[in-house]
C-alpha cells in the first residue's frame, strides 16, 4: 500500500491527503476509532490510528514541499488577495458540485476572476453549510454521508487556494477525480439504502434499472456535445473562449495555432484581444510581432518586439524577442546590425538551436561563415556591449529609411 501511495504521489500530488482519507475510512465503514454503534470517536483511539499513518503523512508532506519548491513560477496578470481567494474557493465548491450533476460548459482553463459577486459567495456558503448540517444530522444513521462529504472537501482543500506554483485558475476539472470519489461513495450508499427499502423484488429491480438508465440519456447527450469540442486544438480553444472570459492563455495558444495555419489577420486579432487582457505579457507581444513579420510588415512589428524584449529581459526570457528583432533588421536591409541581436539570443538561451541556424545563414549571406562560430565559441559579445545606447526610436530611425531586402 505504501508503494501504491508513493506511485500515486509521483504521478500527481492529489493524494497528499491520503492519511486523512484513511482516517475517514477508519471512522466508517471500519469503525476503528472506538465509534462502534454510531458513537463519537475516542481521542486515544484516534491518536493511535494517526500514528499508524505517519509514513503516509511523511510522504504527503514531502511531495507537497517538492511541488511548491520545484514547480516553475508562472507570472499571471492577477495576484489575488486572501479575500478574493476565499470567495473563489467557496464558489468553486458549488461549481464543482454543479459539474458533478451536470457536466457542461467545461473548458481547458477557467481563468481566475477579478471579483466574485457577493450573491454567489452567499449562495455557495449557504449550500456548503446546508450539506454539512445535513450530513452531521444524519451521522448516526448514515455515517457514509459525512464521510463522503468530508472526503470531497478534504481532498479538494489543497487546490481550492493553491500556493503560487502555476497559473491562477478559478477551478480545474482535472482536480475532481479524487474528490468526487467521496461523493460517489455517499450517493451510491444512499441509493443502495433506498433500493433496499423497496420490499418487492420486481419493483426493486425495476427501480435499480431506472436509477441507472434514466440519467444516461441526458448525460449521454451532454457528453456528445462536450466531445465535439475536443475534436482538435481549434475546437478546444473555441469552447474555452465561448464559456469563459479573459482567458489570455487560451487566446495566445489559439493565435499561435492560427499563425501556423497562415490565418494571420485572425491571429493578430486574437493576439490583440489577449494583449488587452494582459498588456505586460511579453510572449503575447512577441506573437503580435511574429504575425506582422509573416505579413511582410516589419516596421509594424518593431514596437511589439521591442516592448517584449524590455519586459522579458529581466526574467532572462527574451530569446524570441531578440530573434524577432534580428529577423526584422534583416528584412529591412540591416543584416550586419541583426548580428547583435542574434548574439543576445545565443547568450540568453545557448541550448536552443533556432538562433544558431538563423545566425549561421546570415553569416553565410554576409560572406563571413566563421564569424558566428567565433562569437558562439568564445562568447565575445557581452550583453552590455551589444546595442549599447540603442532605443526604440533609434532603432526605428535605423530601419525606417532602408529598403526591404
* Nearest-angstrom CA–CA distance, 78 and 109: 15
3-state secondary structure of 171: strand
Pairing of strands 169-171, 110-111: antiparallel
Over residues 268-273, the mean pLDDT reads 98
Query: What average pLDDT does the chain have?
Result: 90
pLDDT value of residue 372: 66
Half-sphere exposure of 385 (CA within 13 A, CB side): 7
pLDDT value of residue 382: 46
pLDDT value of residue 403: 46
Weakest mean pLDDT among 103-117, 157-171, 173-187: 157-171
Candidates 292, 370, 372; CA nearest to 332 is 292
3-state secondary structure of 363: helix
> Residue 60: is its pLDDT beyond 90?
yes
Over residues 264-274, the mean pLDDT reads 98
* Nearest-angstrom CA–CA distance, 299 and 16: 53
> Residue 216: is its pLDDT beyond 80?
yes
Over residues 209-220, the mean pLDDT reads 91
> Residue 276: is its pLDDT beyond 90?
yes
SS percent in the chain: helix, strand, coil, step 5: 70, 0, 25
> Residue 282: is its pLDDT beyond 50?
yes
pLDDT value of residue 35: 84
In the block, cell 481566475 appears at: 112
pTM: 0.88
pLDDT tens figures, 127-171: 999 999 999 999 999 999 999 999 999 999 999 987 766 678 999
Taken in order of first residue, the domains within the chain and their CATH numbers are: 2-225 (no CATH), 280-399 (1.25.40.10)
> Residue 404: is its pLDDT beyond 60?
no
pLDDT tens figures, 19-57: 999 999 999 999 999 888 777 888 999 999 999 999 999
Candidates 214, 404, 239; CA nearest to 328 is 404
pLDDT value of residue 363: 86
> Residue 98: is its pLDDT beyond 70?
yes
Q: How many CB atoms lie within 10 A of CB 163?
A: 10
> Residue 175: is its pLDDT beyond 80?
yes
Question: What whole-number percentage of the chain has pLDDT above 70?
Answer: 93
pLDDT value of residue 377: 60
Question: What whole-number percentage of the chain has pLDDT above 90?
Answer: 69
Per the model's pLDDT, the better-predicted residue between 36 and 210 turns out to be 210
Count the residues in the chain.
405
* Nearest-angstrom CA–CA distance, 145 and 186: 5
* Nearest-angstrom CA–CA distance, 112 and 135: 30
> Residue 384: is its pLDDT beyond 70?
no
Amino acid at each position: 500500500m505504501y508503494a501504491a501511495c508513493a506511485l500515486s504521489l509521483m504521478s500527481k500530488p492529489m493524494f497528499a491527503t491520503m492519511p486523512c482519507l484513511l482516517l475517514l475510512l477508519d471512522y466508517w465503514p471500519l469503525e476503528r476509532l472506538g465509534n462502534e454503534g454510531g458513537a463519537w470517536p475516542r481521542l486515544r483511539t484516534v491518536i493511535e490510528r494517526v500514528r499508524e499513518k505517519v509514513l503516509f503523512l511523511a510522504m504527503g508532506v514531502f511531495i507537497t514541499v517538492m511541488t511548491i519548491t520545484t514547480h516553475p513560477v508562472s507570472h499571471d496578470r492577477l495576484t489575488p488577495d486572501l479575500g478574493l481567494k476565499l470567495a473563489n474557493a467557496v464558489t468553486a465548491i458549488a461549481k464543482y458540485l454543479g459539474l458533478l450533476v451536470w457536466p457542461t460548459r467545461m473548458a481547458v482553463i477557467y481563468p481566475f476572476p477579478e471579483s466574485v459577486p457577493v450573491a454567489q459567495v452567499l449562495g455557495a456558503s449557504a449550500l456548503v453549510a446546508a450539506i454539512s448540517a445535513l450530513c452531521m444530522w444524519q451521522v448516526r444513521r448514515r455515517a457514509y454521508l459525512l464521510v463522503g462529504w468530508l472526503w470531497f472537501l478534504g481532498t479538494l482543500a489543497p487546490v481550492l487556494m493553491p500556493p503560487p506554483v502555476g497559473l491562477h485558475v478559478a477551478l480545474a476539472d482535472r482536480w475532481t477525480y479524487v474528490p468526487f470519489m467521496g461523493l460517489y461513495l455517499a450517493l451510491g450508499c444512499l441509493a443502495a439504502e433506498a433500493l433496499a427499502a423497496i420490499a418487492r423484488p420486481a419493483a426493486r429491480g425495476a427501480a435499480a434499472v431506472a436509477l441507472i438508465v434514466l440519467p444516461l440519456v441526458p448525460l449521454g447527450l451532454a457528453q456528445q456535445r462536450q466531445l465535439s469540442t475536443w475534436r482538435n486544438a481549434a475546437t478546444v480553444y473555441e469552447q474555452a473562449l465561448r464559456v469563459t472570459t479573459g482567458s489570455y492563455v487560451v487566446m495566445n495558444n489559439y493565435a499561435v495555432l492560427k499563425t501556423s495555419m497562415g490565418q494571420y489577420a485572425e491571429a493578430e486579432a486574437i493576439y490583440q484581444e489577449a494583449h488587452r487582457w494582459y498588456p505586460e505579457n511579453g510572449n503575447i507581444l512577441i506573437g503580435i510581432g511574429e504575425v506582422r513579420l509573416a505579413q511582410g510588415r516589419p516596421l509594424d512589428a518593431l514596437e511589439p518586439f521591442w516592448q517584449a524584449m524590455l519586459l522579458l529581459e529581466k526574467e532572462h526570457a527574451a530569446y524570441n524577442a531578440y530573434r524577432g528583432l534580428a529577423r526584422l533588421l534583416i528584412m529591412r536591409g540591416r543584416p550586419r546590425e541583426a548580428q547583435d541581436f542574434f548574439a543576445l539570443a545565443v547568450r540568453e538561451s545557448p541550448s536552443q538551436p533556432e538562433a544558431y541556424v538563423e545566425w549561421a545563414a546570415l553569416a553565410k549571406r554576409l560572406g563571413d561563415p566563421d564569424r558566428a562560430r567565433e562569437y558562439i565559441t568564445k562568447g565575445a559579445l557581452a550583453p552590455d556591449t551589444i546595442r549599447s545606447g540603442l532605443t526604440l526610436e533609434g532603432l526605428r530611425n535605423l530601419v525606417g529609411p532602408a529598403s526591404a531586402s
